Amino acid sequence: MKDKTFLMIPGPTPVPERVLLEIAKHPMGHRSGEFSKILESVYSDLKHIFQTSNDVLMYTASGTGAMDAAISNLVNPGDKVLSLVIGNFGQRWAKIAAAYGADVEVIEVEAGKAIAPQVLKDRLEKDTNKEIKIVTLTQNETSTGVTNDVKTLVSYIKEHGALSIVDGVTSIGAMECKMDEWGIDVLISGSQKGFMIPPGLSFLAASERAWAVHKECKRPDFYFNWSTNKKSVLENSTAFTPAVNLICGLKVALEMMKEEGLDNIIARHTKIAKALRKALKAINLQLFVEDEAIASTSITSVLPPEGVSVPDIRKVLKNDYDIVVANGQNKLKDKIFRMGTLGFVSERDAITAVGALEATLHKLGHKFELGKGVATLITELNK
């Protein structure tokens, strides 16, 4: 049976029917009063989700657009940027900063690990001349399923005086991320993840300190220029023609998020991901990230069992059960598969996924006690 696809990748994530119906409507004029009211509500709710009193800028672009906007509005050629890399998306910050002429230094750890806060602290303490202007980091590394301790890392960056730029693409709406309380200077995210809408929008908020640095930026981008975009936010407008329908859908998605409450959303993600990890172990699968302290609540990376390939697991899951899980990226391609539990995800989804994964592995000859994954999952969920 087709047309029953369940996206269990780390984005795009499933979209609620309420949101889909909203997006399906005729587009409205982006300079109309009606649309301005929608923007007013969206801009206000985004601040709530970002846990900030700063304005949240919205770009018609994927998450990388907001990453680009973070760097291009702050960095002058020759500025020193320290990039904390725990996977592909941390690496992307370094690439963007280098593209804008920054002098980039990288602290990188092997895939599956997080940045040890002490390593950053030591590096920053050595920077007695305060050459490091910006530190980039990823809260949740989607390529591995590892979460960095952003609260502690940002506290060290603040102590040093550099600006912190944090990628919250697969963390916002899935785990705690308190922009103002933790002192994050720039926080970005994308629509197709915890926000439960299709790809096409990205978001960026900046602290007062970051805005002051932006004012000194010699050649900020045109389309992504913070100042131009902020002026529009203050007028409940957008600088250019935005993805009107996505924004209408976003309004509904943000209302759903408010109805559920941010704490409850985070608790739901935590509960499902923890139960999923236990269930996977119960069917003799090895997790790529074994340390619970750094394991993501939105992405779980799994090693294939002996004698079974990642492409075969993905193929059977898709063809026989219409469930899509993600492959590993780059060096991890075919070495791990990644299960997204992000955004519009429920306990029922986890039960379905573990059941289908058991059926898949059974077909592929993996040895385990059939039903033990689902039983473990249900026991955990019902605790």
Ligand X SMILES: Cc1ncc(COP(=O)(O)O)c(C=O)c1O
Binding site for ligand X (CB under 6 A): 11, 62-64, 89, 138, 142, 167, 169-170, 190, 199
> Is the Cβ of residue 67 or residue 351 nearer to ligand X in the bound state?
67
Kind plus residue range of the DSSP H or E element containing 259: helix 244-260
Query: Distance between CA 321 and CA 17 in Å, rounded?
Result: 21
CB of 101 to ligand X, least distance (A): 22
Closest distance of CB 169 from ligand X, Å: 4
> Tokens 């609620």 belong to which residue?
16
Residues 6+ apart with CB under 8 A from 291: none
Nearer of residues 170 and 207 to ligand X, judged by Cβ: 170
Nearer to ligand X, 201 or 213 (CB): 201
- Rounded-to-10 torsion of CA 85, 91, 97, 100: 170
Other CB atoms within 10 Å distance of the CB of residue 319: 10
- In order of 6, 13, 42, 176, 357, the CA distances from 319 in angstroms are 12, 19, 38, 36, 12
Which residue, 101, 203, 179, 145, is CA-closest to 335? Answer: 145
CA 343 to centroid of chain Cα atoms = 10
For ligand X, the nearest residue by Cβ is 63
CA distance 332 to 44: 39
* Closest by Cα among 213, 255, 246, 207 to 59: 246
Shortest Cβ 138–ligand X spacing (Å): 6
> Of the two residues 13 and 238, which places its CB atom closer to ligand X in the complex?
13
Query: Least distance in Å: CB of 60 to ligand X?
Result: 12
Q: Which letter, b or e, does each residue of 104-129 get, where b requires 16 or more Cβ atoms within 10 Å of its Cβ?
A: bbbbebebbbbbebeebbebbeeeee
CB of 82 to ligand X, least distance (A): 18
| Closer to ligand X by Cβ: residue 124 or 179 | 179
Smallest distance from ligand X to CB 177, Å: 12
Shortest distance (Å) from residue 142 CB to ligand X: 3
| 100, 75 contact by CB (below 8 A) | yes
Nearer to ligand X, 35 or 100 (CB): 100
Place of tokens 């933790």: 182
CA distances from 202 to 46, 67, 231, 323, 336 (A): 11, 9, 17, 26, 28
Nearer of residues 167 and 358 to ligand X, judged by Cβ: 167
Q: Which is nearer to ligand X, 7 or 351 (CB)?
A: 7
